[in-house]
Amino acid sequence: MMQMKEYKEVPQDAPPAPPGPAPVGPEPWMSIPVGSNCPQGLEYLTVLDQLLVSQKLELTEIITGFETQNRFKVKNSLGQNVYSAFEDSDWCTRQCCGPSRPFEMKILDNFQNEVLHITRPFRCDLFCCFPDCQSMIEVSAPPGQVIGTVERVCTFLKPRFRIRNSFGDVVLDIKGPACVFKCCSDVTMKVFNSANNEQIGKITKQWSGLTRELFTDADYFSVTFPLNLDVRMKALIFAAVFLIDIVYYDH
């Protein structure tokens, strides 16, 4: 079995990105780091320790009340675009199954190449303590090559998720507070190294204002992780945002 130490500190040989954005369209995009040894499309993650994920506000959803396919922008701490993400699901399951619905999430780079693919099978939240009913996502990078999974753990108080590598080993744990809904306050879920229970990062659901929180499900998240963490583990922590969002906030 592959040990956690193989993921904890993996040297990244990508030099810092050249200064200045690489503008495409009205918004600046982050320049692609060169010389990195990682799956194609994850080069950005070699020089990042934070991602900002914002869900697009869908006017059609507000006006009609029908659930639409979620879309997201992913930026670095300088406000430069890193990725875009969009949900691929059918209308019927979105309306009938709500947050239990199956979907595919496609993560695209500046050139509209799919660099990450997330698959979420249908899970019935009414029986979430049964292994076959627990919410999970499978993450591939590049698409078709599985790098791991994120699974919701059955708990009755504080939310918890497990991140497994491609061999099925639990490598990271995500633990949240007892209350995942706080008025006028951020909600933080901490990421721990499963080998020694050391905190290495966090996923924060940011308060987006009373109107947006009450009348929409368009959310803001920030993700932090060690700069020298293997890019596959960074990608899995990032992917966990989409599972956390649909389980707790996509209502």
Per residue in 135-159, pLDDT (tens digit) is 899 999 999 999 999 999 988 788 9
Q: What angle do CA 16, 82, 150 make, to 5 degrees?
A: 105
- The H-or-E segment that residue 86 falls in is strand 81-88
More confident residue, 200 or 134: 200
Two tokens, residue 221 = 């998240």
Quote the CA–CA distance of 100 and 92 in Å, as a whole number: 12
Q: Which pLDDT belongs to residue 57?
A: 74
Domain 13-249 listed as CATH 3.40.50: no
Higher pLDDT, 251 or 55: 55
Is residue 241's pLDDT more than 80?
yes
Q: Would you kindly state where each structural domain of the chain is located, as residue ranges?
A: 13-249
Half-sphere exposure of 47 (CA within 13 A, CB side): 20
Q: Above 80 in pLDDT, residue 14?
A: no
The torsion angles phi and psi of 161, rounded to 5 degrees, stand at -135, 150
Residues in CB range of 169: below 8 A, 6 or more apart: 1, 2, 4
In the block, which residue shows the tokens 């229970």?
197
